[in-house]
Structure formats: C-alpha cells, structure tokens
Amino acid sequence: MKVGRLVLALVAFAALLLFPIGIANNYYIHLLETIMIYAILLFGLDIVVGYTGQVSLGHAGLFGLGAYTAGVLVTKLGAPLLVALIASIGVTALFGAVLALPALRVTGPYLAMVTLAFGTIIQILINEMSFVTEGPMGIKLQKPPLLGHQLDEREFYWLVAVLLVLSLIVVHRILRSHLGRAFEALRGSPVASDCMGVSVYRYKVYAFVISAGFAGLSGSLYAYSEQYISPNTYNFELTVLFLLAVIMGGRKSRVGAMVGATIIVLLPKLLDDVEMFRYVSVGLAVLVLISAVIAVRRERATPAQMAIPVVGSIALAGLAFWLDAMTDWRLSIFGVIMLFVVYYLQDGIVGFVRDALNLRRSKVVSDVSLDGASTPADAVSVAAAGSDGELLQASGVLMQFGGLKALNNVDLKVRRGSIHGLIGPNGSGKSTMMNVLTGIYVPTAGSISFGGRSLVGRTSSDIALSGIARTFQNVQLFGEMTAQQNVQVGLHHSFASNLVDVALHTPRYRRESAAAATRALGLLKFVGLESLALEEARNLPYGKQRLLEIARALALDPQLLLLDEPAAGLTAPDIKELIAIIRKVREHGVTVILIEHHMDVVMSMCDTVTVLDFGQKIAEGEPASVQSDEKVIAAYLGGQDIEAQPA
Ligand code: ADP
Ligand code: MG
C-alpha cells in the first residue's frame, strides 16, 4: 500500500516535470504553473481552515504581501531569487503573527472580520504606498536568474514544481507530527486540548503563522510567474476563492488542495468557453452518476441522498447545451456550483470520492515502526516519589456565577497517593470544583496550592503540564482523530522537537515520535483498547470513549488525576473494568480525585470522601462514616436514596 502510493506519487511528479516538454504551448504551461502556485497557498490555508477550524479571510492579503515583498526587493534592490523567496516567507510569517496574536483571542465571526479587515488594509496600503509599490501602476519584473543562469518559462515552471513538492512534503510532515495533532486537537475539543497541556491559543497562532509563510512563498512565485503585479489582484474575491478551493477540494487533504487549486484556476476560464464547458459538464455528470451508483450499491448513501447531486449535474450539462454563450451566466453558474458544494459536498470532492468508493483514509498513524510496545506496567510512569502529606490543598474556594455560589467557601485537602471521592447531589458543585482545579474557571476567591505552588490564575495548559490531568463529565475526545492519536496529544509534552526538526525529520524528532507512538500503544493497552488504536475516537462505543479519555489523561504523566463521573453510562462489566484500572493507576503512585454517582464504586475505592451540597462541604471522612452521616443522608433524600442515586 505504502509502496503503491510512493510509485503513484513519483509517476505524478514525473508527469508534472514532463508536461512542458510534451506540451510546448506556453499558455498551458503558465496555467499549470498558476495551479501549482495556488496549491502551495492552499496547503497552508488548509492548516488553518481544515485542521484548526478557523476561518481566515486574510489570505489574499498575505498572498499579496508575499508578491510585493518579492516584487519590491527585486526591482528596488535587485535581490536574487532565493533571497526574495525567503524574505517573502519571513515577511508574511511576521505579518501573520502580528495579525494572529490579537485576532485569535477572538473566534468565529470576529476572527473572520479581523482577517477581512487585514486583507483590505494590505490592499489599500499597497495602493497608497506608491513610493515603494508604484501604487496602482503595479510592478513589472522578469523571470529570475538562479545560480547565475537565467530561467526561461519552462525552467521557472520546473522550479515551481519542485517547490510544490517540497511544500507538500513539509506540510505533510507538519500535519503528521505532534504539531499537526495539536492543530487537529484544538478543533476537536479546545477545552480538552488545553487540559492536555496543548495551549489552544498558542497553537492557533502557530498554525496561522505557518500558513502565512506558505502564502508568502506562493505570492512571491506568483509575482515572478505573472511578471507583473498590481494591487487589485489581491482583493476580497480572491480570498473567498481560496476559501472555497479548500472546501471544494476537501479539507484536511493535500490532494484536495490541489484539486481546489485546479478548480479555481480553470473554472473562470472554463466558463468563458462554452464548447469546453459542454464537454466538462457532461464529463462531470457522468462522473457524479457513476459515483452515485457505486455509493448506493455499497450502501454508503440512499438513492434519495444521491438524487439531487445527480439531477443537479445533469441539469448543468443540459444548461450548457441550451445556452449559446456563457458570459452572462458566468457568475450565476459559479454561484450555483458553490451552493451545491456547500450543501452536498461538505467533505469536498476528495471526501466525496473517498466516501463513494469506500476508500478509507490511510490508517498509518505515524511513520515509525510500532514494534516493541511497552508492557502495560511501563505505560504509566511512576509519579514523584510519594512522600506523604497533602498534594493538593484548596481553602475558602468561592466560585460565583452571577448570584449563584456554585462553590461556597470550600476547603479540600487531598493526600498524596490516595483516592479521594467527591460526591453530592446533581448541581452541588462537583464539576465546578474540577473546573476550578484545572484552570477552566478562575475562582472568585480562595487559594489553591498544588505541590506547594499556587494554581489560581494559571492557564489550563500550564496547570496540566504541572501534573494535573483530567477526564470530563461530557466526554471530550478529539473525534476525528484515532484512539492512538488522542493519546499522542496527551504525550505532546514529551516532544522537544520544533518545526525544523519536523520538516527535516531529524534524529531527535524520529526518536521522540517513535517513543510517543510506542508509549501511546502502551497506554491503550493499559486501559484495554490496544485493538482499537486505529479507530477514530468518535466511532468508539461510549464506554470505550471514557476509557480512552483516561488513557489520554495518563499520557500527561500526572501526579493528580481528576475523574468526573467516569462510570456514568457504563455497563456493569465496563464498570468492573474501570474500577480495576483506577486501582492500577493508584498503584503507580498517581493520586486520584473521583467524582462518582455509583455509591458502590465510591465506597469500595475511596480512602476519603468529601460531600458537597449546594456548593458547600457538608461532610468529609472515611467512606463508612460519611455514608452514615445524617446531613449526607438528608441531602440525598432531598432527591433520592443514596444507594439508588442514578448515573
Ligand atoms: P455537579 O455537582 O452536578 O457537577 P456543577 O458543578 O456542574 O454540579 O454545577 C453546580 C452549579 O453551578 C449548578 O447550579 C450549575 O448550574 C452552576 N454552573 C456550573 N457552571 C456554570 C457556568 N459556567 N455558568 C453558570 N452556572 C454554572
Ligand atoms: Mg458534574
């Protein structure tokens, strides 16, 4: 399989290189060159849009910035090609950072607005700063010399092809690495990312900066390719086109980016040429029909679901024959195709083809061999030598939501090496306590110290890295990632490799990556999920998802593990398994705080139990004494009997 793909890639690359020899027409060479240049930008944009799930409307601006950096350096300073390319990458990455640092504090529509404003400002600046950019006149430049040799059309094409492949390899390596997993994780569940020590904010900015760098490279190549740049190329329309290319081609896919680039370059030209459009629309209709038939026969889709794409593409072909000229209809057809994609091809063309043909994503989790997975016993590393005494000490914790005191003056002391139960009726503040301990909420008042250091005011990722791991009452997995990748996100802290290590696959990166893959398998084995390592987390049964969350939390090498109702929704055999796992965790020296509604679980496992009611601590002590405490019984009787408290 892997060899097959390599051969396919080599054949494709050879075809790309041979194209200008087979087809000597400069028009087509230039067209393919433009597609490749756009593809480089889209590789980068996909990191932001596809992986981290942010919307950027600023990429046309970054593209323009790259083009003008090269243009100005070449015309004003006579900079050589390599200097211009590297400077463009550097300048756009820098501007990307300046844009991202404040912009990514906000999300959703705000981010789109900020990036849109950025793109507009760049365009205006290029227009107005005529002393460097020549303003609306634009800049003319020549094809560059490389190492003393003047490149002609064809040689420049080859340069672009080589840079495309290099970009592809670098992007692919980034996305396969711990960095790529961080990008994907923060989209899957921001709160879980932070609690696994992967700072959502930092990695959003990181993704944006990398993406901007690719936009810069792409822009500078575009300047040489067109030999003329002017401000109005880098407008709003282009930015929308880029975004649609990613979505249409298929996000989280390099092939998708290339397909997307091809579409946005060819489609406008296609709509200018009615003859050509007729052929293509018929071809498309046939393709859609075949895919639909295959999809229905393989029971990947119902005939009803497939009806609209099929009818739509046939109607488009019909329209192409009915119309004499496309020019007036260009924009409308463009719009209809866009709508069609957004409604029916949400995973893009690549996703659609993959689905229809039942090709699953390659399940290679990492490039390293997975031999020699550690035994379960090695999986959980032993926490710092357990001196007795308090690991965690909270005093006078107040958490106020408006008028509601979810936690009211709560003291909590957790002994090192113990399993500490936290119980109470629904809404009594148990989960709130966990959120306060993990930095998701900052307490209104009170102090919390963990291993002698204060936790108040520190970020979730910082707290996680200092040794507190957790699971969530509502499971927070990275759904589109495999079980093993989920655990590998928890192992993010074990990587010291940077972007250069990842791009070059240095020995350090290979070592760390191999160790993390092995360790992740060991942890999966520890919770009994090793056979599901390559399954996407969202496809696991609920009980297994809860176990996976525990494995992921253990990957942090925590001193303290917080479990928020781990048995909720589990079947009786699953609960037994869970109890055994929690015991094993404790044997490895990890301290546990356990929120649980199943009283048999709490009573059989906990060394100490704290009871909350309406945000206040009403009892604390050994399980047996707490169970017979009158205040506790009364609190539970307000709802149900203590033994019968539902999950
Ligand atoms: P439980 O003990 O069931 O885990 P919680 O800690 O989830 O209880 O909730 C305690 C109380 O705090 C509830 O009344 C809940 O509605 C309230 N609460 C929790 N989080 C928030 C929030 N972010 N905003 C407002 N109220 C909240
Ligand atoms: Mg809760």
The answer to whether residues 476 and 560 belong to one domain is yes
Q: Please state, in angstroms and as integers, the Cα–Cα distance from residue 274 to each residue in 125, 316, 325, following that order.
A: 38, 12, 6
Mean pLDDT of the chain: 86
The answer to whether residues 324 and 435 belong to one domain is no
Distance 75 CA to ligand 2 centre (A): 64
Tokens 């711990």: give the residue: 178
> Residue whose CA is closest, atom 20 of ligand 1?
432
- Domain range enclosing 434: 376-384+407-644
Q: What integer pLDDT is reported at residue 130 of this predicted model? A: 78
Q: What integer pLDDT is reported at residue 348 of this predicted model? A: 81
Token pair belonging to 513: 């990556």
- Which atom of ligand 1 lies nearest, measured to the CA of 435? 6
Q: What integer pLDDT is reported at residue 303 of this predicted model? A: 81
Tokens 């063309």: give the residue: 349
> Residue whose CA is closest, atom 13 of ligand 1?
427
Amino acid at 192: A
Gap between the Cα atoms of 525 and 202, Å rounded: 31
- Which atom of ligand 1 lies nearest, measured to the CA of 612? 2
Q: What integer pLDDT is reported at residue 366 of this predicted model? A: 41
- Among the bound ligands, the one closest to the CA of 406: 1
Q: What integer pLDDT is reported at residue 47 of this predicted model? A: 94
> Residue whose CA is closest, atom 27 of ligand 1?
401
| pLDDT tens-place string over residues 148-166 | 788 788 889 999 999 999 9
Q: What integer pLDDT is reported at residue 331 of this predicted model? A: 66
Residue 196 in contact with ligand 1 by CB distance below 6 A: no
Which of 191, 404, 613 has most ligand 1 atoms within 8 Å of its beta carbon, as the pocket-test mutant? 404
Q: Are 312 and 367 in contact (CB under 8 A)?
A: no
Where is the domain boundary, 362, 396, 420?
362
Q: What integer pLDDT is reported at residue 70 of this predicted model? A: 93
Over residues 29-57, the mean pLDDT reads 92
Distance 524 CA to ligand 1 centre (A): 32
List the end-to-end C-alpha distance of the chain, in Å, as a whole number: 46
Q: What integer pLDDT is reported at residue 436 of this predicted model? A: 95
Q: Say which DSSP state 381 is in.
A: P
- Which atom of ligand 1 lies nearest, measured to the CA of 399? 12
Distance 400 CA to ligand 1 centre (A): 10
Q: Please state, in angstroms and as integers, the Cα–Cα distance from residue 438 to each residue in 192, 197, 289, 290, 372, following that order.
A: 11, 11, 52, 52, 34
Residue 401 lies in a domain: no
The answer to whether residues 214 and 331 belong to one domain is no
> Residue whose CA is closest, atom 5 of ligand 1?
429
Tokens 């300073």: give the residue: 77
The answer to whether residues 412 and 484 belong to one domain is yes
Beta strands in 179-258 (DSSP E): 228-229
Q: Are 463 and 439 in contact (CB under 8 A)?
A: yes
**Ramachandran class of 45: left when φ > 0, alpha when ψ lies in -120 to 50, beta otherwise:** alpha
- Which atom of ligand 1 lies nearest, measured to the CA of 402? 25
Distance 440 CA to ligand 1 centre (A): 13
Gap between the Cα atoms of 327 and 331, Å rounded: 8
Confidence band of 397 (pLDDT split at 50, 70, 90): very high
Residue 416 has phi, psi (to 5 degrees) of -55, 130
The answer to whether residues 212 and 328 belong to one domain is no
Confidence band of 385 (pLDDT split at 50, 70, 90): very low
The answer to whether residues 252 and 316 belong to one domain is yes
Q: What integer pLDDT is reported at residue 549 of this predicted model? A: 95
Distance 35 CA to ligand 2 centre (A): 52
Over residues 588-610, the mean pLDDT reads 91
Token pair belonging to 275: 């003859």
Higher pLDDT, 39 or 277: 39
Higher pLDDT, 504 or 133: 504
Residue 427 in contact with ligand 1 by CB distance below 6 A: yes
Report the number of distinct structural domains present in the chain: 3
Q: Are 113 and 53 in contact (CB under 8 A)?
A: no
Rg of the chain over Cα atoms, rounded to whole angstroms, equals 29
Gap between the Cα atoms of 121 and 223, Å rounded: 20
Span of 132-146, 446-460, 578-592 with lowest mean pLDDT:
132-146
Gap between the Cα atoms of 460 and 550, Å rounded: 18
The answer to whether residues 528 and 420 belong to one domain is yes
Higher pLDDT, 135 or 205: 205
pLDDT at residue 93 tops 90: yes
Q: Please state, in angstroms and as integers, the Cα–Cα distance from residue 36 to each residue in 32, 225, 517, following that order.
A: 6, 11, 34
The answer to whether residues 74 and 221 belong to one domain is yes
The answer to whether residues 297 and 200 belong to one domain is no
Distance 456 CA to ligand 1 centre (A): 19
Q: Which residues surround ligand 2, an ion (CB under 5 A)?
A: 431, 473
Token pair belonging to 180: 């790529």
Q: What integer pLDDT is reported at residue 562 of this predicted model? A: 96
**Share of residues in the chain with pLDDT > 70 (%):** 92
Confidence band of 629 (pLDDT split at 50, 70, 90): confident
> Residue whose CA is closest, atom 17 of ligand 1?
406
Amino acid at 547: L
Q: What integer pLDDT is reported at residue 377 of this predicted model? A: 44
Gap between the Cα atoms of 76 and 2, Å rounded: 48
- Among the bound ligands, the one closest to the CA of 422: 1
Distance 616 CA to ligand 2 centre (A): 15
Q: What integer pLDDT is reported at residue 645 of this predicted model? A: 45
Confidence band of 387 (pLDDT split at 50, 70, 90): low
Type and span of the H or E element at 280: helix 274-297
pLDDT at residue 435 tops 90: yes
Token pair belonging to 320: 């192409």
> How many of the other CB atoms lie within 10 Å of CB of 189?
22
- Which atom of ligand 1 lies nearest, measured to the CA of 441? 23
Q: What integer pLDDT is reported at residue 365 of this predicted model? A: 42
Residue 424 in contact with ligand 1 by CB distance below 6 A: yes
Q: What integer pLDDT is reported at residue 388 of this predicted model? A: 63
Residue 2 lies in a domain: no
| pLDDT tens-place string over residues 10-32 | 888 888 888 888 887 888 889 99
129, 132, 137, 140: CA torsion to nearest 10: -150
Q: What integer pLDDT is reported at residue 134 of this predicted model? A: 82
pLDDT at residue 363 tops 70: no
The answer to whether residues 353 and 340 belong to one domain is yes
Over residues 204-229, the mean pLDDT reads 94
- Among the bound ligands, the one closest to the CA of 614: 1
Span of 271-280, 346-355, 379-388 with lowest mean pLDDT:
379-388
Over residues 212-221, the mean pLDDT reads 96
Residue 628 has phi, psi (to 5 degrees) of -95, 5
- Which atom of ligand 1 lies nearest, measured to the CA of 433? 6
Q: Are 205 and 101 in contact (CB under 8 A)?
A: yes
Confidence band of 231 (pLDDT split at 50, 70, 90): confident
Gap between the Cα atoms of 486 and 47, Å rounded: 18
Residue 514 lies in a domain: yes
Q: What integer pLDDT is reported at residue 86 of this predicted model? A: 95
Confidence band of 373 (pLDDT split at 50, 70, 90): very low
> Residue whose CA is closest, atom 23 of ligand 1?
401
Tokens 């009892």: give the residue: 619
Gap between the Cα atoms of 157 and 151, Å rounded: 9
Residue 431 in contact with ligand 1 by CB distance below 6 A: yes
Q: What integer pLDDT is reported at residue 624 of this predicted model? A: 87
Residue 190 lies in a domain: yes
Q: Are 196 and 185 in contact (CB under 8 A)?
A: yes
Here the CATH number for the domain that contains residue 625 is 3.40.50.300
Q: How many whole angstroms from its chain centre is CA 410?
A: 37
pLDDT at residue 361 tops 80: no
Q: Please state, in angstroms and as integers, the Cα–Cα distance from residue 213 to each residue in 17, 209, 226, 235, following that order.
A: 25, 6, 20, 19
Residue 425 in contact with ligand 1 by CB distance below 6 A: no
Residue 27 lies in a domain: no
The answer to whether residues 222 and 251 belong to one domain is no
Distance 634 CA to ligand 1 centre (A): 21
The structure's pTM equals 0.86
Residue 289 lies in a domain: yes
Residue 437 in contact with ligand 1 by CB distance below 6 A: no
The answer to whether residues 564 and 620 belong to one domain is yes
Q: What integer pLDDT is reported at residue 378 of this predicted model? A: 52
> Residue whose CA is closest, atom 25 of ligand 1?
401
Residue 191 in contact with ligand 1 by CB distance below 6 A: no
